[in-house]
Structure 1
Amino acid sequence: MGLANWYEEHVVPRLIKCACSSPAIMHLREKVVPLASGAVFEIGCGGGINQQLYDTSRITSYAGLDPSTKGLEFARAEAAKRGWQADMRQGFGEDIPFASESFDTVVCTFTLCSVGSQAQTLRELRRILKPGGRLLYAEHGRAPDQNVRKWQGRIEPVWKRMAGGCHLTRPVTSAIAEGGFDTHEAGERYAPKTPRWAGWMEWGEAIKTG
C-alpha cells in the first residue's frame, strides 16, 4: 500500500470522524437525523456518528453505505454497541446497491461534498426512495458571499487532497431541488467558530417528487 492510499484509508476516516463531530456540526445533525422514520438509508454512514441521534422508536429498518473500509469498521462497531440490526455496505453513492423504492427516509449529512458526482448520487438517492419519501440533509457548500466564494475556490484544490475529496464550492439545496426533490423546508447559515470558507451550512427536508 502506497503512502497516498494509506493516508486515504487510515488517516482520512479519522480526520473526518473528528471534524464531522464538532459541536457546530453535531448541532445541525441534531436538527435532521431524529426526524428519520420507517425504512431508513444513510449515505456516508462511515464513522457511525449519526447513530446516537436516531429515534429508534420511529425506525423499522436501517441500512447504510460508505466507501471507506475503516469508516465502516467504526460504524459497525457503533451499531454492535447499540444492538442495531444494520445492513451497512461498502460502495459509492453513484451506484447504490439497493433496490429502487426501498426506503421511506434517506439521511445525508456532510457527504454530498465528497462524492464523485453530486448529480448522479442525487439521482440514486431519489431512485431508492419510495414515492413521497424524504431526504433529510445537512451539508456544507458554496457560500452566498462572493468574497467567501473566492477563498473557497482558492483553497479547494488543496483541501480536496487533504480531506478525502471534500469540495467547498458545491451548491446544496439548489442541487437537491434540481435532482427531483421538493425542498420545502430548509435552513442556512454560517457555522459559528468556523472559518467562513468552510462554514456555510444548509440543512432541511426534501420530498421525492413525481
Structure 2
Amino acid sequence: MSLRSYNPYYRWLFPWLLDRVSAAVADERSDLLGLAQGVVLEIGAGTGSSFHCYPAAVDKLVALEPDTSVMQLAHKQLSKMPAAIQAKTQLLLADAEAIPLADNSVDTLVSFLVLCSVPHPEHALAEMRRVLKADGQLLFFEHVLADDPAVQRWQHRLNPLWHRCAGGCQLNRETAQLIQQAGFSLPTYQRYQHRSFPRLVGQLISGRAVKTND
C-alpha cells in the first residue's frame, strides 16, 4: 500500500482534484481515447473517469494505478458501468516503472496527464515501450514546460513546492523530448496553450507516438 494512502490529502482531496481536471479536458480525452484499439494499457488510470471513453474497437482495457485510495474509487466507478465495460476492464495496482505485463503484449498505451508525475519518466517510458507491440501506439496528453520564458521562470521557481502538493507532478518537464528519447517517433503531435488551464500548467502536448526500430 502506498504511504500516500494514509495522508488525508491524498485519500480524499487529491482524487477529487483528479476528477475536476478530467472534467476540464473531457472533450480532448474522448477524442484521443477514441483512437484506442485492441489491448489497451492506461497508465495512471486514476479514479476511472476515462473508462466510458473507450470505443468498441478496444478488446481489453488494463487500467494501471499505483495508489490504493485512488484504485478503490476506480473500483466503485467500474461497478456502476455497463456489464460490457466491466467484462473487458482489468484494474491493476502497479507502478508504471515496473509494469507486470509481458513484452509486446499491448496494442495501445494511454498516458493522460501522467508522465508529469512519475518519479523517473525515462524508466516508465522504457517499460511502456517494452510492453507495446511493434505496430502499437502510444496516445498521450501531457502538460509541459511553457514556451513563454517568463512562465518558465515561475515554473522552475514553484516546482519544488508544487510537486509535493500535487502528487509528484512536475511543472517543467519536456515530455515530448522524453518520449522521443525513449525510442518513439511522433507522427501526430500538437503543442498548444489550453484555454481552461492557468498558464502555469496550460502548455500541453497531445498526440500519437509509435515505436522506432531497435
TM-score, normalised on structure 2?
A: 0.90
The residue aligned with 2:135 is 132
The AA in structure 1 aligned to 2:40 is: V
Which of the residues 94, 97, 101 maps onto 1:94? 97
The residue aligned with 1:14 is 16
Mapped pair 1:62 → 2:61: yes
Runs of 4+ in 1 over 6 A off after TM superposition: 1-4
1:151-210 Cα deviation digits (max 9, x unpaired):
111121221121111111011222111111111100111110321111011000001122
The residue aligned with 1:39 is 39
Alpha-carbon distance between aligned partners in 2 of 1:3 and 1:89, rounded to the nearest angstrom = 16
The residue aligned with 2:171 is 168
3-state SS of 1:158 partner: helix
3-state SS of 2:100 partner: coil
CA deviation after TM superposition for structure 1 residue 46, in Å? 1.7
3-state SS of 1:203 partner: strand
The AA in structure 1 aligned to 2:172 is: T
CA deviation after TM superposition for structure 1 residue 79, in Å? 2.2
Structure 1 residues not aligned, in runs of 5+: none
CA deviation after TM superposition for structure 1 residue 7, in Å? 2.1
CA deviation after TM superposition for structure 1 residue 74, in Å? 2.0
How many residue pairs are counted as aligned between the two chains?
A: 207
Cα pair 1:132 1:209 within 8 Å, conserved: no
Alpha-carbon distance between aligned partners in 2 of 1:70 and 1:161, rounded to the nearest angstrom = 18
Residues 177 and 79 of structure 1, relative CA distance in 2, 3 Å threshold: same
The AA in structure 2 aligned to 1:198 is: V
Residues 3 and 100 of structure 1, relative CA distance in 2, 3 Å threshold: closer
The AA in structure 2 aligned to 1:42 is: E
Alpha-carbon distance between aligned partners in 2 of 1:174 and 1:208, rounded to the nearest angstrom = 14
The AA in structure 2 aligned to 1:21 is: A
1:42-97 Cα deviation digits (max 9, x unpaired):
00112112112111x10111102111112112222222222222211112111111
Mapped pair 1:107 → 2:107: no
The AA in structure 2 aligned to 1:68 is: D
3-state SS of 1:167 partner: coil
Q: CA RMSD in A?
A: 1.8
Alpha-carbon distance between aligned partners in 1 of 2:12 and 2:130, rounded to the nearest angstrom = 32
